[in-house]
Amino acid sequence: MLLRRGYSIFLPNPRGSTGLGRDFVQRVVGDLGGAETYDHLSGIDHLVSQGLIDAHRFGVTGGSHGGFMTSWLITQDSRFGAAVPVSPVTNWVTEHLLSNMGHFVRLFLAGRLEDAAGHYFSRSPTFHAHKVRTPTLSICGALDRCTPPGEAAQFHNALTQSCAKSVLVTYPEEGHGVRHFPAMIDYAARMVAWFEQHLG
């Protein structure tokens, strides 16, 4: 749908992704949201330098870890014109305590929940929401146990308290991601409309 409307789509394979071996995946252990952040940003810089994308008109979206990265990127860089995080993690503390993936959080952050100076706090988008100026449409499923809907809700609330433009959509019958009709149609229409509205 986005391609048909003239958008270019950049699908990076940052460190931590599968498909390039175990070592490539393990490069994010203990550094989740660290160097991988710059894999995304340097890719965007390259596309801009090559004249392949408009430096003033691009957005970001992703689901699950991509939802975390979407939320995280807009707290770290102001260049994005619109964002659509889907099933995101926005607070590693609540993700650890309330999701069915506490073991994943502990493994990949390689930190301790009680460490107030550690990555549980410093790498949580919610605690950086005051920096965001990107219009953000957060999408979640009410039945999601991997990234519970409270993850999207708390980021949305933090953004609105900072006067950023934010909309939260929770699908009552969806779990991790939007996978069923008619919710898929509604989600797709909302995402495209959000980018059209804010990117022109």
Q: What pLDDT sits at residue 41? A: 97
Q: Is the dihedral of CA 125, 144, 83, 198 positive or negative?
A: negative
Task: Give per-residue pLDDT as tens, 39-61.
Answer: 999 999 999 999 999 999 999 99
Q: What pLDDT sits at residue 200? A: 81
- pLDDT tier at 148, thresholds 50, 70, 90: very high
What is the number of residues in the chain? 200
Task: Decide if pLDDT at 198 tops 90.
Answer: yes
**Using the 8-state DSSP alphabet, how is residue 28 labeled?**
T
Tell me, yes or no, if 78 is annotated catalytic: no
- pLDDT tier at 18, thresholds 50, 70, 90: confident
Higher-pLDDT residue of 18 and 105 is: 105
- pLDDT tier at 75, thresholds 50, 70, 90: very high
Half-sphere exposure of 164 (CA within 13 A, CB side): 28
Mean pLDDT value of segment 54-79: 96
Highest mean pLDDT among 20-29, 110-119, 184-193: 184-193
**Alpha carbon distance 9, 79 (integer Å):** 16
- Which of the residues 40, 156, 176, 198 is marked catalytic? 176
pTM: 0.97
Phi/psi at 93 (5° precision): -65, -55
Tell me, yes or no, if 49 is annotated catalytic: no
Question: What is the signed CA dihedral for 90, 58, 14, 63, rounded to 10 degrees?
Answer: 40
Structurally, at CATH architecture level, domain 57-199 sits in: 3-Layer(aba) Sandwich (3.40)
- Which of the residues 17, 64, 122, 162 is marked catalytic? 64
- pLDDT tier at 30, thresholds 50, 70, 90: very high
Question: What is the signed CA dihedral for 193, 179, 19, 93, rounded to 10 degrees?
Answer: 80
Task: Decide if pLDDT at 159 tops 90.
Answer: yes
Mean pLDDT value of segment 11-39: 93
With H, G, I as helix, E, B as strand and everything else as coil, classify residue 61.
strand
Arithmetic mean of pLDDT over the chain: 96
> 55: which 2 tokens?
């430096």
Q: What pLDDT sits at residue 2? A: 93
Task: Give per-residue pLDDT as tens, 161-183.
Answer: 999 999 999 999 999 999 999 99
> 101: which 2 tokens?
């993936």
Q: What pLDDT sits at residue 88? A: 98
